Each structure stands twice: as C-alpha cells, then as structure tokens.
Structure 1
C-alpha cells in the first residue's frame, strides 16, 4: 500500500509538472484538477500548479517516510551478514518449534545457510561453546534434510559422526549449529531447548 501511495504521489507531481510546462508555453487552457479554472502563462496559474506539485511531492515524501519506518520496525534486531539479514538469539533457549514460531512472528524463518561462505559468515557472529537452532530438518522424509523456508534440500556441514540418526538416534529430526572444536551441524531432538537464528530474505 505504501509503495502504491508513493508511486501515485510521484506520478501526480510529474503530471502537474508537465501541465505547468504546457501552461508556460500557452498550450493548456484548463487545470487538470479543475476544468473550469483557466490555465495560462499568468502568475496565478503558475502558482496554482506549483501548489499542486508541492502537495503531490509532500504526499510522496510522507509515504516514503512511513515506508522507511515500517522497514526499520521489520528489520529490528536483524543484522546484515553477507548479503542477507539474520537475527541471532544469544540469551533465551527454546525448542525447535518455538524458535520456528518466533522467527515467523518476526517475518522470517529459522535460518538455513545457503553455502559454506554464508555459514562461515554466520558462525563468525556466534558465541563459542553455544548451540543454535537452524531451519533444517528431516521431518518430512527420514533421509532428506530440507530448508524450512523453501522446502528444498539444505546445504549441510555435519560434524564427525553426524547425523546421529544414521547411528540409531532416529528420533533426532531437527538440526542445530553446535560448537566444540568449531561449529558444525548436529541433529537433535526437536523438543530440546537451545538458542536460535532467524533469517529474512531481503
């Protein structure tokens, strides 16, 4: 809605500007907003059109400011890491389902690193010896780990001996970033509580 309002304001100002040029050249005879009001190269007509342009530009500026405030609120708590925005919860621990709900409420999803470069950029922001939920799981099919956000196969960087479901822990369906000797991916019971990372696709 804000984008539409902004666009209308700009188009209105442009239209008024074109009409003003026509008036100065003596090509227009009426105002675009008032068919009974004569428009010509006179000062009164120019003043009338300039006022209309200023009103349109003010409308566009107001819409732009509102849009910026909305974006700032939307991005609150997120930081740009690489080319995308992430929210890293360093204090509170929740289970995977609760973490997923929190990220959705923030307008995003639990984070799924797209490649090794992005994963390393995220890891650089994490606290050593901590654990963080990410948006990867195999809840749909046992042998397919997918991104919560896209449903597509996820980039994976397992630690040694992971995923542990291969070794008998079939109930561990959710994935975390776990730190021991560096961070790596580890499957874990979704009911366990840990910190989490959200993503926004902007």
Structure 2
C-alpha cells in the first residue's frame, strides 16, 4: 500500500512538471523548446524533482509513523471494543443473575404469602366451626332446659289439679254423708244431680284447659325444634325437610339417621309438600318415608308419631295387598321391603 502511494505521488509530480513545460506562457516561467525532450529536459526535470525526491525519505518516515499510529489506534480500538464487549457480557450476566435472584425472591415471597393465607383461612374456618358448634350446643342446652321446664311445669300443674280434684271429691263425699242424715231422698237426688252437673262442667273446663296447654306446649316445642335443626334442612311449603341423595340405608337405619340430625323420617301431609319434595329429589330414585303397614294390612301408620297417615299418592298398582314400608319414587308412593337400602327423606318436626 505504501509503495502504491509513492508511485501515485511521483506520477502526479511528473504530470505537474510536464504541464508546466508544455504551457510556459500560462505560468510565466522559462521557455523550453522541446525538440529532443528526453535529452533536453532531463537535467531540468531532475532539478525540479530533486527537492521532492529528497523529501521522499522524510515523507516515508512520516507515513510510516502515521501508519504505526493508525495501527496503534486500531489496536487500542480493538482493545476498547474487547473491553466493552467483555463489560457488556459481564453486565448482561450480572443483570441476568440479579433478575433471577429477584424472581426467586418473588417466588419464595409468593409461596410464603400463600402459606400464611392458607394458615389464616384454616384458622378462621376452625374458629368459625368451633363457634358454630358452641352455639348449637348452647341452643340445644337451652331447648332441653325449656323442654324440662315445660315438662316440670306441666306435671306440677297436673298434679296440683289432680290434688284439687281429689280434695274436692273428698269434701263432696263428706258433705254428702252429712246431708244424707238431714235431707230427704228427693232433696238428695236433686242436690246429687246438681253436684254431678257442676262436676261435669268442672271436668270439661279442666279438660279444655289441659288440651289448650298441651297444644301450646306442642307448638312451642315445634318452633324450638325448627330453630335447632341441622342446617341441612330446607323449607318446603310450611315445614322443613332434608332429602338424602348420597347415603342408602334400610327403613329403620334411615329413621336413626334422621333422629341423629335432629329430625324424623318424613310423612307427607298434602300435595303441596309432595310437589315441593318431588321437584328437589333425584329422578328414578327411591326414598324411604316413615309410613308402613307392618302391624296390619291396609292400616298405614306414621312411625314418627304412631298416628294414621292422612295423605297418599299411590303409584299404579298400589297399595294392593302388599305389606311393608312406603317409599317415594318420582312423586308416587309404593309399598316395598323395609330392609331395602335406598335414599331417604327426613322432616324436622314430629307433628305428622
């Protein structure tokens, strides 16, 4: 490359000199008639080129120095570029490591937060369940106390009434004995009839009061029972029922299961209840009810109350001469084996 530069520079100088010789009038210099250029202008050309030729070593030195400086600068640039690349790679690695560390910390923090939330939720759930159990126990205890109080109060009033009747009967007997001695047979019969009428009225009054008291007691017990039942029970028509769709038991075990949750096997009292239960039950599924005719064919009794069942909606072909337990299927009733293990329906009260 340096030799090529020398050649180009020398050619330019020669062309410049040749141009000066060819056009001396334009430059205002010496006039040289070139009849024999190689011989006539050799000395003149050498004279003109000598200073430039003498400057060639210095120029070469300068060019070598410039080339050396360029190579040094290029080397420095390569070194700087290498350092920058190394620094960039180092920064990238450090940044990646930092980002990975931050991501790991975030994941650990998220895991810790999730564990704390799960722990807190579990603690809250456990606390709420404990409070609910305590509340249910308190309600049950209060209801038991109320039942005991009602029962005791009823027995006390009944005993007091019986005692008053006994005292009244004793007094009447004594009075009759005394009056028999002083009154005639006709007077005695009149007074006896009047006394018997008074006793009859008094007995009817006492029976009426006793019936009203029992009805009030039953109503109060029913209301209290509704409040204390399991939350599984749902209101259908005017009462509360629980339809078991997961557990299959025989008739007698189903009754025990209903009583354990605070209710009894269900007896349906009207079409409104039947329709509400049918809508909420599973199609093509059998359900035990509390009704059976095990004691006597054709006499259907509620196991819950011991009273005669009052409402039926028989499936085709029933009741016939079958003896067994009543089951509900797709809104219709039939008589089947009491030992059949099927689903069952509970009621919260013991009225029917």
Structure 1 residue 94 and structure 2 residue 234: aligned?
no
| Deviation, structure 1 residue 159 | 0.6
Measure the CA separation in 2 of the matches of 1:109 and 1:144. 20
Question: Which is greater in Rg?
Answer: 2
Structure 1 residue 108 and structure 2 residue 263: aligned?
yes
Measure the CA separation in 1 of the matches of 2:228 and 2:253. 22
1:178 counterpart residue number: 329
Whichever structure has more strand as a proportion of its residues is: 1
2:314 counterpart residue number: 158
TM-score (norm 2): 0.34
Report the count of equivalent residues: 130
Deviation per CA, 1:86-132: give whole Å up to 9, x if none.
11101111111110111111221110010112111111111111111
Unaligned runs of at least 5 residues, structure 2: 1-140, 147-224
CA contact (8 A) 2:226 2:348 kept: no
User: Equivalent residues in 2 for 1:15-30 (5 A)?
Assistant: none
Q: 1:115 to 1:73 in 2, by over 3 A?
A: closer
1:2 counterpart residue number: 142
2:335 counterpart residue number: 187
1:34 counterpart residue number: none
1:127 counterpart residue number: 282
Measure the CA separation in 1 of the matches of 2:338 and 2:286. 13
1:41 counterpart residue number: none
Whose RCO is larger (CA < 8 A, sep 6+)? Answer: 1
User: Equivalent residues in 2 for 1:11-90 (5 A)?
Assistant: 74-90=229-245
| Deviation, structure 1 residue 138 | 0.8
From 345, 348, 351, the counterpart of 1:197: 345
Measure the CA separation in 2 of the matches of 1:115 and 1:74. 22
1:142 counterpart residue number: 297
Measure the CA separation in 2 of the matches of 1:152 and 1:72. 25
* CA root-mean-square deviation: 2.3
1:118 counterpart residue number: 273
Whichever structure has more helix as a proportion of its residues is: 2
